Amino acid sequence: MSDTPRFLAACRGERLDRPPLWLMRQAGRYMPEYQKVREAAGSFMNLCRTPDLCVEVTMQPIKRFGFDAAILFSDILVPAEAMGAEVEFVTGEGPKIRNPFRTEADLERFHSPDPREAAPYVFEAIRGIREVLGSETPLIGFVGAPFTLMCYMVEGGGSKNFEHTKELVLGRPELADKLIDLITTYSIEHAVAEIEAGAQAIQLFDTWAELLSPPAWRRFCLAPANRFFREVRARTSDAVPRIYFSKGGGAQLADLGEIESEVLSIDWRLDIGRAREALPGRVLQGNLDPLNLYAGPEATKRRTNEILAQTNGQQHVFNLGHGILPKTPHESVDALVEAVHNFRAE
Is 152 one of the annotated active-site residues of the chain? yes
Tell me which of 12, 29, 102, 276 is the catalytic residue: 29
Q: How far is the CB of 280 from ligand CP3 (least distance, A)?
A: 27
CB 49 within 8 A of CB 321: no
| 38 near ligand CP3, rule: CB under 6 A | yes
| 24 near ligand CP3, rule: CB under 6 A | yes
| 101 near ligand CP3, rule: CB under 6 A | no
| 166 near ligand CP3, rule: CB under 6 A | no
Is 242 one of the annotated active-site residues of the chain? no
Q: Measure the CA–CA gap between 129 and 139, rounded to whole angstroms.
A: 8
Q: Which amino acid is residue 92, in one-letter code?
A: G
CB 203 within 8 A of CB 132: no
Query: Rg of the chain's alpha carbons, rounded to an integer?
Result: 19
Tell me which of 6, 30, 68, 75 is the catalytic residue: 75
Q: Distances in Å between the alpha carbon of 55 and those of 11, 32, 49, 301?
A: 24, 16, 11, 30
Which part of the chain contacts ligand CP3 (CB under 6 A), choosing from 21-29, 121-129, 268-276, 282-290?
21-29
Q: How far is the CB of 246 from ligand CP3 (least distance, A)?
A: 10
CA 325 to chain centre: 15
Instruction: Pick between residue 150 and residue 169 the one whose CB is nearest to ligand CP3.
Output: 150
Q: Which of 67, 205, 217, 229 binds ligand CP3 (CB under 6 A)?
A: 205
Site map (CB under 6 A) of ligand CP3, residues 46-75, x = contact: -------------------------x-xxx
| 265 near ligand CP3, rule: CB under 6 A | no
Beta-carbon contacts of 2 under 8 Å, excluding residues fewer than 6 positions away, are 9, 14
CB 75 within 8 A of CB 38: no
Is 29 one of the annotated active-site residues of the chain? yes
Is 344 one of the annotated active-site residues of the chain? no
DSSP state letters, 190-225? HHHHHHHHT--EEEEEEGGGGGS-HHHHIIIIIHHH
Which part of the chain contacts ligand CP3 (CB under 6 A), choosing from 2-10, 25-33, 310-318, 327-335?
25-33
Is 206 one of the annotated active-site residues of the chain? no
| 316 near ligand CP3, rule: CB under 6 A | no
CB 7 within 8 A of CB 330: no
Instruction: Pick between residue 27 and residue 188 the one whose CB is nearest to ligand CP3.
Output: 27
Q: Measure the CA–CA gap between 82 and 191, rounded to whole angstroms.
A: 13
**Residues with catalytic annotation?**
25, 29, 38, 75, 152
Residue numbers at the binding site for ligand CP3 (CB under 6 A)? 24-29, 38, 44, 71, 73-77, 94-95, 142, 158, 205, 207, 323
